[in-house]
Amino acid sequence: MASEKKQKQVRVWVDGCFDMVHFGHANAIRQARQMGDYLIVGVHSDEEISKHKGPPVYNEQERYKMVRAIKWVDEVVEDAPYVTTLETLEKYNCDFCVHGDDITVTADGTDTYHLVKAAGKYKECKRTAGVSTTDLVGRMLLVTKSHHERDEEKAVDKNQAGDIGSGSTASSPWTGVSQFLPTSNKIIQFSSGKEPKPGDKIVYVAGAFDLFHLGHLDFLEKAKAQGDFVIVGLHTDPAVNRYKGSNYPIMNLHERTLSVLACRYVSEVVIGAPYAVTADLMDHFKVDVVCHGQTPIMPDVDGADPYAEPKKRNKFKLLDSGCELTTQMIIERIISHRLTYESRNKKKQDKELKILAMLERENSG
């Protein structure tokens, strides 16, 4: 026929807890979005998660907002059922459901995707090796630095590196701790690849953006309102460790890069930006305004103000995101619930090992 029929829009459904939303979640969402034209993400409620796997670190309102900010998400459905049903897919006119190549089960051990699998409406995407909520909680509780990119400054202490891998969270076949291996391809996949247009107002912000959370998100939304093109400068792991101490950053530079790139308010990331915002940096990126949030500004190594240059040019602005949440507060939430989370992780690991054993028996039969 000469008259071209408009192709039907392929609508994709993804669901999950999306607790402590990280670049592993974002990567699954990115892959799912590539399988169709419109992506709907169902997010489970606190009540559902508590029933099936224990209390989430983030409450449902925080999780809904974090998922909405991932740039590949077209729509969020709140309080999505824990077991994905055909009724849900039909209600939102979705062609199929996508999930990672790990197994998710209910409190009684049922595969949460068994209904859509049986109906042939299930597709898989690849898990991002080396990152999971379980892994991040493990890093916080074990207080080690083996995940840092050390800039050749010092080799990783093998005994210390073993600490994370030997925790009770480590031996899950899917979410056990393994090294996240960054590649240029992964950065390209997450990057928008867009240049600023002529006349765009360019906003520059810098920081650690560790364990990318709601406080960061609200700040970046405010920064985006200051201009058209937001560039985020990410400090190196040694720089963050200098001003934050302890085992910060929890996420290394490459992990933080992907977390920030997944945010819809961010146009570009400077990977390993200088701690001081220099004249060179401002000229190179043609920066119109440099913004900072409400966190205290730590002096540079030489005691200088890292924002001296933008202040001199009258291009510095303090923003109030209106969100009190900090990385430290998230860690405090976890430490205060430490025993609950450790038993949650242990239960998850036991459940997965049981399923693996069952699958092996079926395959050998």
Confidence of residue 150 (pLDDT cuts 50, 70, 90): low
**Whole-angstrom Cα distance, residue 194 to residue 39?**
22
What's the pTM value of the predicted model, to 2 decimals?
A: 0.82
3-state secondary structure of 46: helix
Q: Compute CA 108 distance to the chain's CA centroid, rounded to the nearest angstrom.
A: 28
Residue 163: how many other CB atoms lie within 10 Å: 18
Q: Which of 35-39, 99-103, 110-114 has the lowest mean pLDDT?
A: 99-103
The neighbouring-strand residues paired with 15 are: 42
Give how far Cα 243 sits from Cα of 166, 212, 271, 316, Å. Answer: 29, 18, 18, 21
The neighbouring-strand residues paired with 317 are: 291
DSSP string, 248-270: --SS-HHHHHHHHHTBTT--EEE
- Each residue's pLDDT tens digit, 246-270: 888 989 999 999 999 999 999 999 9
Please choose, from the candidates 102, 108, 158, the residue with its C-alpha nearest in 3D space to the C-alpha of residue 125. Answer: 102
3-state secondary structure of 358: helix
Q: Angle at CA 256, nearest 5°, toward 273 and 194?
A: 70
pLDDT value at position 282?
A: 98
Cβ–Cβ under 8 Å, residues 288 and 315: yes
Cβ–Cβ under 8 Å, residues 129 and 181: yes
